[in-house]
Structure 1
Amino acid sequence: MELILIRHGLPERVETEDGTPADPPLSEVGHEQARRVAAWLEETHIDHLYSSPMQRAYQTAEPLSALKSLDIETREGVAEYDRHADHYIPVEELKKHDYDRWLRLMRGEIEDINFPKFCDAVITTLNDIVAANKGKTVAVTCHGGVVNVWTAYVLGMELRMFFNPNYTSISRYRAASSGERSIITLNEHTHLKGLGSNLG
């Protein structure tokens, strides 16, 4: 089967004052990115569409859902590691303004986050999706952390953040029923041409 992971579009920067989860929606640019990735995948046959329950991922799935006439099936296990945080700062902003914290993030040293538990949830959920869709092609709108963990798992690497996928980038994987996993493409983002620097 083929597993397509799509990172969400550019979200708004959000910080709550009452400690509730930030869960930002897509920005105007993010919505355009979502429309573009849907159009890019128009000729790709997709049997099922899954999404993280977080707004930025679910909203990214909506244009693809409409184009393909597919329901969006949410899966808690592909939510981002920061889903309960009271703020959302895009990774590229974090790197620019707090480089040391960004380095810790890339090593999986995330404050108040059980990173191994997050990794387990991602791998279990995506393997469950694979097992339920033998011989099919499925798309999952998710997050940079999810893409990093799954890619590291497929490569047999230490499970950590090691690259920054572009917003609405596409990463494709083959998954055999015998257990083999392989990468077809990583971080496709040709569809974002002309959108400037808001790529992720």
Structure 2
Amino acid sequence: MALKIFLVRHAKTDWNDRGLWQGNSDISLNQAGFEQARRVAQRLSTQNVQIVYTSPLSRAYQTAKVISDTLKIPLIIDERLRECEISLWNGLTMEETLQRFQREYQIWSSQPDAKIEGVESLGSVQNRIVQFLQELIQKPFESTVVVSHALSLRTLICWVLKIPLNEYRNFGLDNASISLVEFQGRLRLIYLNDTCHLG
């Protein structure tokens, strides 16, 4: 039987609504975000999920807690699921980032192992979340939920699809979206960025 791994991007925050980089800033869900989390939980309630893993950051943990409470299943925090550290441009819009840090951003987004102070490389993010996934597929579950962040999940999906890390911007991951990865001897992406449950 295939192991189902539902990858959930955390639900909405006020910073998401304003288009601001969040990184490891600990921003909570807003009211719309909690409603999105409830809809994710409702969508997953038919999937025989046995456990939820989450990033420790509030927006992911709160999303995961709604899921675990609704489905009445255990919730485990794993540091490897946290978002990319981007303190250099946290709280800025993309436009502001490019005005102030265009060179740094271009290096970071194109070179997986870029060394820029205040910014974790995409390669580092991918290494830790892939390590998490490789441990997860050894566990005796049939269906799990992993709640994390846009950048972290994109690096993971790049690895599953065997595409270069600097292609991470070529697909979207909306707030409270669900992507499904299955493992049965090999990993396969079944669907990506599904938001039909948000109506």
TM-score higher than 0.5 here?
yes
Matched positions, count: 180
Q: Deviations over 1:67-106 (max 9, x none)?
A: 1111210111111103x7387448xx53x655675x7465
In 2 relative to 1, CA 89–40 (structure 1 residues): closer, same or farther, beyond 3 Å? Answer: farther
In 2 relative to 1, CA 192–87 (structure 1 residues): closer, same or farther, beyond 3 Å? Answer: farther
In 2 relative to 1, CA 97–30 (structure 1 residues): closer, same or farther, beyond 3 Å? Answer: farther
Aligned with residue 85 of structure 1, among 77, 84, 87: 87
The question of whether the paired residues in 2 share the 8 Å contact of 1:51 and 1:74 is answered with yes
Where does the alignment leave 5 or more consecutive residues of structure 2 unmatched?
Answer: 17-23
The question of whether the paired residues in 1 share the 8 Å contact of 2:54 and 2:76 is answered with yes
Where does the alignment leave 5 or more consecutive residues of structure 1 unmatched?
Answer: 15-20, 194-200
TM-score, scaled relative to structure 2: 0.79
Shift in Å, 1:13: 2.7
1:50 aligns with 53
Shift in Å, 1:47: 1.1
Aligned with residue 67 of structure 1, among 70, 75, 90: 70
| Greater helix proportion | 2
Identity within the alignment, %: 23
1:196 aligns with none
Matched, 1:36 2:39: yes
RMSD in angstroms over aligned alpha carbons? 2.6
In 2 relative to 1, CA 110–52 (structure 1 residues): closer, same or farther, beyond 3 Å? Answer: farther
What SS does structure 2 have at the residue aligned with 1:60? helix
TM-score, scaled relative to structure 1: 0.79
Distance in 2, matches of 1:13 and 1:58, equals 16
